[in-house]
Amino acid sequence: MDASPVAIGPADLRVVLVETSHPGNIGAVARAMKNMGLERLVLVRPKAFPHSEASARASGATDLLERAQVVGSLPEALVGCGLVVATTARERDPNIRVLDVRDGAVQMVAEAVRGPVALLFGNERTGLTNDELALANLLLRIPANPGYSSLNLAMAVQVVAYELYRARGFSVQAPERVVPRATADDMERLYAHLATVLDEVGFRDRTASGTNLMERLRRLFNRADLDQNEANIVRGILTAVQQRRRTAGTPHGPRDPSERA
């Protein structure tokens, strides 16, 4: 790769901590971020913040804590982001692509040239839930000793932040994309619209739990990596379905049991 630096700002790479339980870890994360030139920290429902222990562990990175954004839900933290990357201990996932941390960092830097990228870290004890992972376009894995692969939250952030810093030192060819990627909030609106239409046409989840359909559809569309025009096309199709049913005089529910999935 060419050694010219990648022209992106620190705010284009967003670190999102979900339900962090120990305030000291938030401070240590801020220090790790500042070491590697990252500035945008978003906290989703932290157990205790602001907190003196966070400030003490930040050790010179208290400016990041002062600018940190605190939100009540993960979708709020992802507003405006195109690529959403979640950290995981899994080596593979049947529904979401899993990348090694070094390869993932290169892709994140490439995408940040075009728009904000979010990097998600879960709770210290439980990690990210399946619902939270479903919001990601890809998963990022830090290879470690199989016999003891658990990393402290701040350690994990430090490793990924280092790889991002390293990747930013080289020019990276971003994928050709004439139209911007659909943002996380664009996709949330699409999913809400899709769920409404599925309910209106009587398409039901036939799995044993009855709760997997939208999760699977989310993963399908996340893998498809829609741009904004494509997301609008899908929503236009959904709107046309709704209008046709209203014209036919069946605003809700299937006309016949055979229409059910």
Question: Both 60 and 88 in a single domain?
Answer: yes
Last residue of a domain, one of 133, 168, 203: 168
**Mean pLDDT over each residue of the chain, to the nearest integer:** 87
Residue 237 pLDDT greater than 90, yes or no: yes
pLDDT (0 to 100) of residue 11: 63
Domain with 205 in it:
184-259
State whether 109 and 39 are in the same domain: yes
193 and 128, same structural domain? no
Where is pLDDT greater, at 1 or 120? 120
Query: Quick one: pLDDT at residue 113?
Result: 84
Is-contact 86 60, C-beta < 8 A?
Answer: no
Q: How confident is the model at residue 171 (pLDDT cuts 50, 70, 90)?
A: low
* E runs forming strands in the chain: 13-18, 40-44, 69-71, 84-88, 98-100, 117-121, 138-141
What pLDDT does 32 receive? 97
Which is nearest to 69 in space by CA: 15, 105, 13, 131?
Answer: 15
- Same structural domain, 164 and 193: no
Instruction: Read off the DSSP letter of residue 175.
Output: P
Q: Residues 12-53: pLDDT tens digits?
A: 899 999 999 999 999 999 999 999 999 999 999 999 999 999
CA distances from 133 to 73, 76, 185, 250 (A): 14, 15, 15, 36
Q: How many domains does the chain have?
A: 2
Q: Does the structure show a pLDDT above 60 at 145?
A: yes
